[in-house]
């Protein structure tokens, strides 16, 4: 019998580890690549969803975190720190537990989803809510890591990008080649950077014959890359990507331009429409930020930018259970029935 061993063991020869590196893992990666029937029909393409919410802490961050914490452990770090809109902190907290390290997290006050806060708390991290936004938190985390004995595990840490690039490897390994188009939500822009690196490495080594065009989507209220300038007070219901000054801005532009892709924006309304479609039509429950990729694909299709017959992968980055408020909001309240089969049958429309 074979169990998936986690991204470091599965892709050891393509990652910065040696035989003596102490691998810290929760067996992340190996996530489902799910054919999306309704999205395929709507676009005339072959659309797949890379379901990253199936990772151990419920987001793609685990791919980067196994690598970053493994290297921090190897280098003798006893504490790690990160700024986060919630998923990075949940992941860092979990992997720090596995490594026997202290984890400090800085989150924007009142702007992270409850499920993510619960994760950071239950894994026992030291949480500070900062009176500022994510960009302020990242500046603070950087300053602390420069002046105190604590390793920074945000995606400015190159090992994070190394781990996250394995998602591209998995997609090529599953499909036999790279897709024509890869669609991602963009926040701090680490993930689009990492995917492009993965696709580029596989193509350079001849594992894949081609590379996809990279399509990134930011939320309209938090779209600095689209606007070409820092957004001072970013806003969006998709709190995971509420970022006004992405750390990997330059690398995201390179991924966009080198791949012949683009980075556009989607409104909160478009994000929520895609969020509901994914759950109710495809059976895939994601958090709002994750739906930005699918919202973007649908927007591009409506604009006539999607030629039919292409193979497209949309990454959905995080699990819907992290931020269920939007699932419940606006949905009809379930009715209450007595313990009575005929009453229940009637209410269900079966009778
Ligand atoms: N989707 C989700 C669910 C995220 O949590 C993030 C980023 C992104 C997309 C965007 O990815 O930053 O690599 O462009 N979350 C970070 C965090 C900022 O702190 O958890 P990116």
Q: What's the 211 CA to ligand 1 centre distance in angstroms?
A: 23
Residue with tokens 């992405």: 246
- Give me the residues paired with residue 80 across strands: 103, 151
304 marked as binding residue: no
Cα 43 to Cα 45: distance, rounded to the nearest angstrom: 5
Please report the pLDDT score of residue 162 as a whole number: 98
Q: What is the ipTM of this complex?
A: 0.99
Please report the pLDDT score of residue 1 as a whole number: 73
Cα 52 to Cα 142: distance, rounded to the nearest angstrom: 27
If one residue of 80, 84, 134, 188 were mutated to test the ligand 1 pocket, choosing by the most ligand atoms within 8 A of its CB, it would be 188
Print burial letters for 263-277: b (CB count within 10 Å at least 16), e (below 16). Answer: bbbbebebbbbbbeb
What's the Cα-to-Cα distance from 37 to each of 34, 141, 176, 284, rounded to whole Å?
9, 42, 20, 12
Scanning the chain, the segments in alpha helix (DSSP H) are: 7-10, 37-43, 61-74, 87-99, 114-122, 134-147, 158-164, 166-175, 190-204, 224-227, 249-259, 268-277, 291-302, 325-328, 341-347
Please report the pLDDT score of residue 346 as a whole number: 96
Burial class (CB in 10 A: 0-12, 13-18, 19+), 282: buried
Please report the pLDDT score of residue 318 as a whole number: 98
Domain 7-59+159-328 in this protein, CATH class: alpha beta
189 marked as binding residue: yes
Cα 210 to Cα 3: distance, rounded to the nearest angstrom: 30
Cα 201 to Cα 311: distance, rounded to the nearest angstrom: 20
What number of other Cβ atoms are within 10 A of residue 158's Cβ? 12
pLDDT in tens, the chain (351 residues): 789 999 999 999 999 999 999 999 999 999 999 999 999 999 999 999 999 999 999 999 999 999 999 999 999 999 999 999 999 999 999 999 999 999 999 999 999 999 999 999 999 999 999 999 999 999 999 999 999 999 999 999 999 999 999 999 999 999 999 999 999 999 999 999 999 999 999 999 999 999 999 999 999 999 999 999 999 999 999 999 999 999 999 999 999 999 999 999 999 999 999 999 999 999 999 999 999 999 999 999 999 999 999 999 999 999 999 999 999 998 889 999 999 999 999 999 998
CATH of 61-157, one of 3.40.50.1100, 3.30.1360.30, 3.40.50.300, 1.20.1260.10: 3.40.50.1100
**Ligand 1 site, CB within 6 A:** 59, 61, 84-88, 155, 185-191, 240-241, 287, 289-290, 317-318
Indicate the pTM of the whole model. 0.97
Please report the pLDDT score of residue 330 as a whole number: 80
**Start-to-end Cα distance in the chain:** 47
What number of other Cβ atoms are within 10 A of residue 257's Cβ? 12
Q: Which of 78, 63, 1, 73 is nearest to 26 (CA)?
A: 63
Tell me the DSSP string of 93-152.
Answer: HHHHHHHT-EEEEEEETT-S-HHHHHHHHHTT-EEEEESS-HHHHHHHHHHHHHHSS-EE
87 marked as binding residue: yes
Delimit the domains of the chain by residue range. Answer: 7-59+159-328, 61-157
């Amino acid at each position: 019998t074979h169990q998936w061993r986690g991204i470091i063991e599965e892709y050891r020869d393509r990652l910065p580890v040696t035989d003596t590196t102490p691998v810290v893992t929760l067996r992340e990666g190996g996530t489902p690549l799910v054919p999306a029937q309704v999205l395929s029909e709507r676009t005339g393409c072959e659309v797949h969803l890379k379901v990253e919410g199936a990772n151990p802490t419920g987001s793609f961050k685990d791919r980067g975190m196994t690598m970053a914490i493994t290297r921090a452990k190897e280098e003798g770090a006893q504490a790690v720190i990160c700024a986060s809109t919630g998923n990075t902190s949940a992941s860092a907290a979990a992997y720090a537990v596995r490594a026997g390290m202290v984890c400090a997290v800085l989150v924007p006050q009142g702007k992270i989803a409850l499920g993510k806060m619960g994760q950071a708390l239950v894994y026992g991290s030291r949480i500070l809510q900062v009176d500022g936004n994510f960009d302020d938190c990242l500046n603070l985390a950087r300053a602390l890591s420069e002046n105190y004995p604590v390793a920074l595990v945000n995606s400015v840490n190159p090992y994070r990008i190394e781990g996250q690039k394995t998602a591209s490897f998995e997609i090529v390994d599953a499909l036999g080649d790279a897709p024509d188009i890869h669609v991602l939500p963009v926040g701090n822009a680490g993930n689009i950077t990492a995917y492009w690196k993965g696709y580029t490495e596989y193509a350079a080594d001849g594992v894949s014959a081609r590379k996809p065009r990279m399509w990134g989507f930011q939320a309209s209220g938090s779209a600095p890359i689209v606007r070409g300038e820092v957004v001072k007070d970013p806003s969006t219901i998709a709190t995971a990507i509420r970022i006004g000054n992405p750390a990997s801005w330059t690398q995201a532009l390179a991924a966009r331009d080198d791949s012949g892709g683009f980075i556009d924006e989607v409104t909160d309304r478009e994000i929520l429409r895609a969020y509901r479609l994914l759950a109710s039509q495809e059976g895939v429950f994601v958090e709002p930020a994750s739906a930005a990729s699918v919202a973007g694909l649908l927007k591009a299709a409506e604009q006539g930018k999607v030629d039919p017959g292409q193979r497209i992968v949309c990454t959905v980055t995080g699990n819907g259970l992290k931020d269920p408020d939007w699932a419940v909001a606006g949905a009809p309240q379930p009715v209450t029935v007595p313990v009575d089969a005929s009453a229940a049958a009637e209410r269900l429309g079966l009778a």
